Structure 1
Amino acid sequence: MAQSSTSPFFSLEELKNLKSTSETGGLEKVVPLIQRKVNELDNTELNIAVTGETGAGKSTFINTMRGLRKNDKGAAKTGVKETTMEPTPYPHPNLPNVCFWDLPGIGSMKFPANKYMEKMKLKKYNFFIIVSDTRFTENDAKLAKEIKQLGKNFYFVRSKIDNDLNSLKMEGVKFNTDEELEKIRKYSVSNLKQAGISSPSVFLILNFKVNEFDFPALKETLANNLDDIKKQVFLLSLQNTTLEIIEEKRKELVKRIWMLAILSGAVGAVPIPGLSFACDIGILMTAIIDFRKYLGLDDASLQRLTIMAGKPVEVLKAEVKTPLVGEISVEFVKRMLVGSAVDAISVAEAVLNFIPVIGSLFGAGSSFLMTYKLLNDALNELTENAQRVVKAAFGTD
């Protein structure tokens, strides 16, 4: 049986192991198994390598993917000179486990092609973005072949695509934008195929125009080619620029809710007075704070979005209408628990039957159900607020 899109990050084998462990050793024996999986989610690293020739727009691309401009704290240095002399890490401002690495361009005097592979230690990266602002070179193709031998994915990005279109305008040429873009894409693909790259993925982008050209398709492709946990990490690192991104984040966070609810339910079953309630509070407080950060509703994320959208931060903050963005205190969460208790019990059968193996471990009055119900409600409320912010930022219908 395959996992459903909303099931936790457990394989069928792992779910059966949870059940048998609880039957033979009690639910307290399940706690470390679940905690290990939660820790795996929290500690998974994603290292993304970005390379290309000097001036191709690597650093600007890295900044764009992290929602930063060149003068922001932590931004990658940009310029026409070679500013990258060694692999330089740029962690995501909200998720430091997601790190973009600015690699020197292959084929320069300092990094000739025959030494590049060894010096760059390519094995450490999860996938590669090869950037060019004109045409992809023989060295780009050579690098792609080396990456393929390592069993890793690579993607070609043509940056500054507006330069091609502006040249036609300046020459007074009448053209259809979509047709010209398709010509550029086919030309790039053809050159790479001639260099020995079969079925190359080429994306045409303009840095900072995150909802235009192939930028949305690039982000979707990168996410879909990652395994389950790394896919979640990557999606949660994306800036909220479309309603589709917010919906994908919501789906991934529902999976995390299952994980946290199982952990809460397992710890809550341990017969130690006060442990269940204390654990629920800690899980709930941390999760709500994380959710609003992942959904771009914290002050820092909203400030970065104003730069990308060109809208005053006050306009975006006016769309945030939930107490969940305020202080998340113990008393605040206790009030939420009391308010959710009756509703949680009323939906017990539907929730517990959703994943039968897990449902068999917990009862209708369990900490599992309370945590699931409260976090699911909080996620839906935060999602609605994030959607309003994006609509205000980009005029999305």
Structure 2
Amino acid sequence: MGGSSSRDQTAETSNSSFFTEDELKTLKSEYETGGVAKVTPLIQRKINDFDKTELNIAVTGETGAGKSTFINALRGLNEDDEGAAKTGTTETTMEPTGYKHPTLPNVWFWDLPGMGTKKFPANKYLKVMEFKKYDFFIIISACRFTENDVKLAKEMKRLEKNFYFIRSKIDSDLHSLRKGGRKVNEEEELEKIRNYCVRNMQEAGIPTPCVFLISNFNLNQYDFNLLTNALEDDLPSIKRSIYILSLPNLNVEIVERKKKELKKRVWMLASLSGVLGAVPVPGVSLGCDIAILIGGIIDFRKCLGLDDASLQRLANRAEKPVGDLKAVVKTPLVGEITPDIINRLAWGTAAIVISGLEIALDIIPVVGSIFGAGSSFLMTYKLLTGVLDDLTVNAKRVVTAAFGTD
């Protein structure tokens, strides 16, 4: 029983590394022949991959389908928030317009003009939109998917780009059905809409369309989680991680998925700390790189929506006073990161590190073994793991306070 548990723990830790199995083997081999100096460029190159990789998400569809509103929802914004995409019932997008994610500058949402307008007839549209630039496409319709939507999908398939169909304004459809006091079986009606969309696309020549039913004003309902799962499955590892971290905090499940991805950043930052060497923390015999630690805390709280700007956006979205959300945050890590806070973190972690060095190195594969017991790698790893746990608990409290549900 104990041996099985140990293996499970090792596997879990290994899966949370930001290195692939092949990269871990290369690191070990390079270390054995050249020491830390030889693995340093490999680790820094991997970190640069995370920092420089862009994710470009294209959203297209006909006028009035809700493209801009969907982009705002994915960015956690209301239409009157600063930087929000312009919405309207007429075509407001006359050229591809990029909207940067509010906290992840390498994530871009592109609002593409609807195809089939006078300015963008089908044959011209496919040439000028630079399809190869985008990682995947979302095609939105507020009713039925059209001939232009099918042409778009076929072109994307030819270019080997992933695409997903969204049937928007589902909440409006159900509201209309309920007018006059009519009783509505929501599941049956949703299935009718989904089947109609799928049949519509199949008849037009798309054999296995992925159709998701979405409300732009309440992403927690209907198929949004199914959509995000499909996107994650289709993206390569680094872009999948970036996409998950870009999601708005709608429920505790998303917060937990972000934590899993940020655990990989713990490895990344700890590895960087290991190659740079230990910087003593005042009052504590063990050391870590303080600048890396502070940077990690700031990055984690932004990704988990605990910085002031993110809390205000969430409050706006949930229509709650921002003070109500801040009131449930019970950690000093959301304020200024002072030497005193780092000291308290270090003192709390030092005993754990000292008492569990051999166990820790046993379950941290390859990388931990490279840097060794008592290293800056291990101290940074332990400190940031504790930081991530603390911030995750508080992010879940905030989401529950915002939406009144887990």
Q: TM-score, normalised by structure 1?
A: 0.94
State the distance in 2 between where 1:24 and 1:129 align: 48
- Number of the residue aligned with 2:132: 123
Q: For 1:314 and 1:172, locate their aligned partners in 2 and report how far apart those are by CA, in whole Å.
A: 38
Q: 2:212 is paired with a residue of what secondary structure?
A: strand
2:374 paired residue number: 365
Separation in structure 2 between the aligned mates of residue 110 and residue 81 of structure 1, nearest angstrom? 14
The SS at the match of 1:239 is: coil
Shift of 1:168: 2.1
TM-score by length of 2: 0.92
2:171 aligned partner, one-letter code: D
Mapping of residues 258-269 of structure 1, within 5 Å:
258-268=267-277
Q: CA deviation at 1:71?
A: 1.4
Aligned to 1:381: 390
Give SS of 2:328's match: coil
Structure 2 counterparts to residues 1-397 of structure 1, below 5 A:
6-170=15-179, 173-268=182-277, 280-397=289-406
**More deviation in 300-309 or 339-348?**
339-348
Question: What amino acid is aligned across from residue 318 of structure 1 in structure 2?
Answer: A
* Cross-structure match for 1:273: none
Amino acid at match of 1:283: I
C-alpha spacing 1:353/1:277, structure 2 compared with 1 (3 Å): closer
Contact 1:28 1:269 in 2 (8 A): no
TM-superposed CA distance for 1:253, in Å, is 0.8
Q: Out of 167-176 and 314-323, give the one that drifted further.
A: 167-176
Q: Which runs of 5+ in 1 are unaligned?
A: 271-275
Distance 1:223 1:262, change over 3 A: same
Once the two structures are superposed, residues 344-372 of structure 1 have per-residue CA deviations (whole angstroms, 9 ceiling, x without a partner) of 12222232222432232122211111001
- Aligned-residue sequence identity (percent) comes to 64
Provide Cα deviations, 1:84-137, integer angstroms capped at 9, x if missing partner.
Answer: 111000000111111000000111111111111110010000000101111100
CA RMSD in angstroms comes to 2.1
CA contact (8 A) 1:281 1:330 kept: no
Which segment is superposed worse, 306-315 or 243-252?
Answer: 306-315
Amino acid at match of 1:143: L
Displacement of 1:4 in angstroms is 6.1
Aligned letter for 1:158? R
The Cα of 1:10 is off from its aligned counterpart by 1.7
Q: Secondary structure of 2:371's partner?
A: coil
Gaps of 5+ in 2: 1-9, 280-284
Superposed displacement of residue 331, structure 1:
4.7
- 2: CA distance, partners of 1:105 / 1:10: 41
